[in-house]
Structure 1
Amino acid sequence: MNKKSVPAPSLKEACVQAAREVIAEHGVESLSMRDVARKLAISHQAPYRHFESRDHLLAEIMRRCFADFARHLDGRPRTGQPEADLEAMGHAYLAYAREKPLEYRLMFGTPWPEPAQHPELVQHAVHAFDLLRESLRALHRDQPDAPAHVDRQALFIWSTLHGMASITQADVMQHLQLAPGVEPALAGDVMARIGLGLGLPCEVRAA
C-alpha cells in the first residue's frame, strides 16, 4: 500500500479522529498507533510526530472528552436559584451520557493512562467535577463544614447519576419488562430522589 502524506498541521487532528474511529469500531483495548497509521494509510512512524505513545494519544482523546463534557454542563440554562440550577446540571449530565455514549464511556469506563504524565487530562476532569461542587457551594454558604459537606454531596450525586446513565445504556434494560411509564419518568424520578437525599424543598423535588 502506498503511504500518503498528511500535512503536518492536520496530522494531529487526523490521528485523533482515526483513533476515535478505532475505539468506536473495536473498543479502546484495540487502540494502537499502528492501527491509527493503517487507518490513515500513512507511515507507522508518522503518528509519533505528535504523540509519544498510544497512551499519550488516548490521554488527548480523554482530555477532549472531559473538556466537551464540562462545556456541556456549564452551558445549561441558569435561573440564579441554586436548587433549580443544580437540577438543570443533573439533567444536563444525563443528556450528555445519552447523546454521547462513546465519550461518556471513555471518561468514566476507561482505565486512565498514567496521570502524572498527563496533567491536562487531570485538570479537565477535575474541572468538570468542580462545576458540580460550585453548584452545591451555593446551597451551603453558611455551613462551617461546607467543604466536606459539599464533597460528600457531590460524590452522592455523581454516583447516582453515573449509575442511572450506565444502567440505561446496558443491554439488560430492554429485557427488564418495566411497568408502563417507568422508563420515561426515570430521569425526573432520580432527580427528585436526589433532592430528597439533599434535603431540598418539596417544591424543588417535585419539579
Structure 2
Amino acid sequence: MTSERERTYHHGDLRRAILTAALDVIATEGPAALSLRDLARRAGVSHAAPAHHFKDRTGLLTAVAAEGYALFADALAGAPDLRERGVAYVRFAATHPAHFQVMFQPDLHRADDPDLLAARARATEALRSGVADLPPAGRGEDDRLTGVAAWSLAHGFATLLLTGNLADALAGRDPEEAFRSLAALAFAPEDGRGH
C-alpha cells in the first residue's frame, strides 16, 4: 500500500511543499537560515528529496526568486498607471515578504536561470510601460532615469515598510495611501511647482 506521503510526492506536490516550507523559513528567519536537510525534515521526506527538485540551496532560492518575479509581474500587470504600479509593488512586498527578500539579492540565486529571466523580464516590462504612459511633463528628460526614480521610490518604501522603519512616520496611516501621496509628490508635473 502506498503511503499518503508517497502519493503526494508522486503527484508533484513535494516541490510545492518544499517551496512553501522555504518561504516560511525565509519570512521568519531570513534566507541565510535555509537548509535543504531541514526542509526535507519539515516535509517529512528523505534529505535527498529536495535535491531531486532543486539540485542545491541556490537552485531552491532561484525557484523562489522566479516564482516571486512571476507573482510580481502579475501584480503589476493589473495596475492602470505608474502610481498604481508602485502601490502594487508595495502591496506585493507586504504580502510576499519572503519572495521579496530573495528576488532582490542576486547573490542568492542563479542569474542565468531561464524561468527567472523570463519572469524578471515580464516584471521589468510592466514597470517600464508605466513610465512610458506618463505624460511628458511627469517623465523628465530620460525615461530610463524616470524608471529608476520610480523603482527607487517603490522599492525604498516597500523595504522600509517591511523592516518596520515606517511605523512612526505612518502613524497608523494605510501604507498604500501613504505611497500614493508620495508618488503624487515625486511625479507631479513640474508646471505649477514654479520650475
Bin the TM-score by the shorter chain: 0.7 to 0.9
Distance of 2:172 and 2:26 partners within structure 1 = 35
Distance of 1:154 and 1:179 partners within structure 2 = 25
Distance of 2:172 and 2:14 partners within structure 1 = 49
Structure 2 residue runs without a partner (length 5+): none
| Alignment of 1:194 onto 2:194 | no
Distance of 1:201 and 1:56 partners within structure 2 = 50
Q: 1:130 is aligned with what amino acid? A: E
Distance of 1:154 and 1:71 partners within structure 2 = 19
The equivalent of 2:77 in structure 1 is: 74
TM-score, normalised to structure 2, is: 0.78
Residues 182/121 of structure 1: CA separation in 2 closer, same or farther (3 Å cut): same
| Alignment of 1:130 onto 2:125 | yes
Identity in percent: 28
Q: Give the aligned CA root-mean-square deviation in angstroms.
A: 2.9
| Alignment of 1:165 onto 2:158 | yes
Question: Per-residue CA shift, 1:118-173, capped at 9, x if unaligned?
Answer: 132122123211111112223479xxxx9x92221111100111111112233343
Q: 2:146 is aligned with what amino acid? A: Q
| Structure of higher RCO (CA pairs closer than 8 Å, 6+ residues apart) | 2
Distance of 1:164 and 1:61 partners within structure 2 = 22
Q: 2:87 is aligned with what amino acid? A: H
Which of 115, 131, 156 is the aligned partner of 2:149? 156
Which of 113, 116, 119 is the aligned partner of 2:109? 113
TM-score, normalised to structure 1, is: 0.74
Distance of 1:113 and 1:57 partners within structure 2 = 8
The equivalent of 1:205 in structure 2 is: none
Question: Per-residue CA shift, 1:2-59, capped at 9, x if unaligned?
Answer: xx53422222222212222222332210111101111112111111221211111111
8 Å CA contact 1:33, 1:54 repeated in 2: yes
Distance of 1:99 and 1:12 partners within structure 2 = 21
The equivalent of 1:13 in structure 2 is: 16
Residues 171/47 of structure 1: CA separation in 2 closer, same or farther (3 Å cut): same
Q: 2:178 is aligned with what amino acid? A: L
Residues 12/28 of structure 1: CA separation in 2 closer, same or farther (3 Å cut): same
Q: 2:15 is aligned with what amino acid? A: K
Q: Secondary structure at the match of 1:60?
A: helix
8 Å CA contact 1:67, 1:125 repeated in 2: yes
Pairwise mapping of residues 176-187 of structure 1 onto structure 2 (< 5 A)? 176=168, 178=169, 186-187=178-179
Distance of 2:166 and 2:85 partners within structure 1 = 24
Structure 1 residue runs without a partner (length 5+): 79-84, 203-207
Q: Secondary structure at the match of 2:47?
A: coil
Question: Per-residue CA shift, 1:42-82, capped at 9, x if unaligned?
Answer: 11111122121111111111111110011011122x4xxxx
Distance of 1:52 and 1:42 partners within structure 2 = 15
